[in-house]
Amino acid sequence: MEESSSKASVVNRLLGVKQRSGKTFGQIAQETGLTNVYVAQLLRRQAHLKPETALKLRASLPELTDDLVDEMMRPPMRSYDPNLIQEPTIYRLNEAVMHFGESIKEIINEEFGDGM
């Protein structure tokens, strides 16, 4: 439970930096040369921040403190909240995977092999 509240605290601080910047994930992505999803994952502590990316992210979000950057460079704190499926957008994404999943899997296997 402590790790969960620690993650929530860090994520809240990171998202606060983003909010105070007034920038969207897309704007930060454009400024850093990253994708908007990767930026969102970084700020939610679900992806690992690399040193070369840290410089770009700090240039885009100057309010990022050393402790936040250090935290983002640690292994990501991926987690899954079972209540998340109740959120309408997540529910619909899950529904799409359930509906199209087998076909997508077949195409991936055909194109790239069964190495996943």
The count of other CB atoms within 10 Å of the CB of residue 79 is 13
What is the Cα–Cα distance from 43 to 21, expressed in whole angstroms? 13
The pTM of the full predicted model, rounded to 2 decimals, is 0.74
Residue with tokens 């930060």: 28
Report helix, strand or coil for 115.
coil
pLDDT in tens, 38-71: 999 999 999 999 999 999 999 999 999 999 999 9
At 33, list the tokens: 């040369």
pLDDT band for position 2 (cuts 50, 70, 90): very low
Domains of the chain are 2-72 (1.10.260), 82-112 (no CATH)
Residue with tokens 């994708």: 35
What is the Cα–Cα distance from 53 to 34, expressed in whole angstroms? 9
